Amino acid sequence: MPEIAARPYPYSFAPAGTALVVIDMQRDFIERGGFGEALGNDVSRLAAIVPTVRDLLAWARAHGIRVVHTREGHRPDLADCPPAKRQRGRPALRIGDAGPMGRILVDGQPGNDIVPDLAPCRGETVIVKPGKGAFYATALDEMLRSQRITHLLLAGVTTEVCVQTTMREANDRGYECLLVEDATESYFPEFKQATLAMVHAQGGIVGWTAPFAAVRASLP
């Protein structure tokens, strides 16, 4: 069985039972004019990982590892967006408001699309999630179990919010998870580093972490 040189110890996986989950690499978070920038963030930090995520996708596709993409998006009537979420932080633009790329975080709007360089291929699953975690109010768990997926490689943004939430949800459901260190990012570098440390602390209480180079080397 292939092994990835990971922290806190090697991560073993079978490609047929593994899925790569790429979380929320969407225009609203990564490009200028989206929700991330409306919150006052430097989106260039997130844009910088796009080449690594693109290479990770190519590696997974080449080795027959299932690929799942997620987008955080809400219904046009915002019925699945609690008022507390929409009002949090008093941003210049709230969820559902019209922005430079259409309505912020609304499914079907241009800003809710995955960035072009990471566009899903035919047959790859795209999960539209109303929450931070990819398992909340979605069919992700049922889909993975129906395909006998037991191991997850995770990438995407932001590390301490949607990525960590999804990883903890997966951990509670029994999936063995590895977070690809340089294929995830935060608007706050210290938050990313803290999250990586929390994931592999105490013998991998949430899971494993490893750089993409180590992931790639496991299946040359």
Residues taking part in catalysis:
24, 129, 162
The DSSP code sequence of 120-151 is: PPTT-EEEEESSSSSSTTSSHHHHHHHTT--E
Whether cis (ω within 30° of 0) applies to the bond prior to 2 is: no
Q: How far apart are CA 178 and CA 12, in angstroms?
A: 10
Instruction: Please list the alpha-helical segments (H only) found in the chain.
Output: 27-30, 35-38, 44-47, 50-62, 83-87, 140-146, 164-172, 189-204, 212-218
**Angstrom distance (rounded) from CA 59 to CA 135:** 25
- Which has the closest alpha carbon to 69: 115, 25, 112? 25
Torsional sign, CA 203, 163, 189, 39: negative
In whole angstroms, what is the distance from residue 196 CA to residue 180 CA?
Answer: 10
